[in-house]
Chain A
Amino acid sequence: MEKDQHTHIVKYKTYVYVLIALLFMTFVSVIVTEIDLGPYTVTMALLLASIKSLLVLLIFMHLKFDKKFYGIMVASVFLLLACVIVITFMDYLYR
C-alpha cells in the first residue's frame, strides 16, 4: 500500500475561486490608486496586497491543509520581518 501522506486533494474549483478573488483585488487596488485617496492610497494598496498574499499562502501554498507546524513557522518569519520593519522605522522617524 502507498504511504498515507498527502491525503487532502484540493478541488480545481477552489483554486478557480481563489484566482477570481485575487484578480478582483488586483483590479480594485488599481482603481483605488487611480482615484487619489490621499494618505489612504498606500494603506489600501498594502492592505489588499496583504490579503492577496494571505490567500496565496493559505490555499495555493496549502498552509490551510498542511500540518499546523508549517503555518506557525511562516507566521514567525513574517512576525520577524514586521519587527525589523518597525524597528527600522522607529529609528528613521524619531532620530
Chain B
Amino acid sequence: MNDHQVHIDEHRDDEGAKTGMWIFIFTELLLFGGLFIAYSVYRYLNPLAFHLAAEELDTTLGTINTVILLVSSMTIAMSISAIQYKNKKLTLILMAVTMLLALAFMVNKYFEWSGKISHGIYPGSMTLQEASRGELLFFGLYYAMTGLHALHILIGMAFIGYVMHLVVKNEVQHDNFVILENSGLYWHLVDLIWIFLFPLFYLIT
C-alpha cells in the first residue's frame, strides 16, 4: 500500500469526465454523420461522375493509411492496460508509437494531397471548374471530409502529447488515468471515422 498516494479529500469524478468525453464524441459522430449523408445523397444523384472521380484515388495509399490507423488504435488502447499494470515506461513507449503512426498518416496524406494538387485537382482549380458537377462535388467532399479528419488527427496528436507529458510528471497513474482513457477514446473516434471514409472514398468506385 502506497500511503503517500492516498488522496482522501481529493475531488474527482472519473465517470463524469468519461461521460463528458462520450457526449463530445457524439457531437463529432453527428458532424461526420451529416457529411456522410451529404456524400451518399450526391453519390446517388451523380453515380457516374462519382464513379469516375473515385477511380482517381489511390487505393494503396488509402489501405496503408487504414493499417496505420488501426495499429495506432491498438497501441493507444494497450497503453491504458500498461498504466493499469503500473508500467510507466511501456505506457510512454506505446503512446509514442501512436504519435509516430499518426505522423506517418499525415506524411502519407501530404503525399496524397500534393499528388492531387499537382494534377490540378484542388478546390477552385481550373481543371475542376471544367469538370462535371458530380466530379466537382466528389472532390469538394473528398477535401472537406479527409481534411476535417486530418485536423482531428492533429488535435488527437496534441491531446496524446499533452497526456504523455502528464504521464512523465506522474500526474497520470495506475489509479488516476481517466484523461489517458479520454485521449484514447478520441483517438478511436478518429479511427472509427476513417473506417467509413476509407471504403466510401477509396474502395467503392
List chain A positions with a Cβ less than 8 A from chain B: 1-3, 5-6, 9-12, 15-16, 18-19, 22-23, 26-27, 29-30, 33, 41-42, 45-46, 48-49, 52-53, 56-57, 59-62, 66-67, 70, 73-74, 77-78, 80-81, 84-85, 88-89, 92
Contacts and interface: CB of A to CB of B under 8 A. Distances in A.
Interface string B74-109: 100110110011000000000000000000000000
A23 B67 contact: yes
Nearest to A63: B22
Interface in B1-31: 1, 5-6, 12, 14-15, 18-19, 22, 26, 29-30
Interface stretch (B133-141, B149-157, B192-200): B192-200
Given A10-B81, A29-B203, 7 more contacts: A3-B175, A19-B71, A22-B70, A26-B66, A30-B59, A57-B188, A73-B22
Nearest to B59: A30
Given A26-B66, A73-B26, A60 B73 contact: yes
A45 to B, nearest CB: 4
Contacts of A22: 70
Nearest to A22: B70
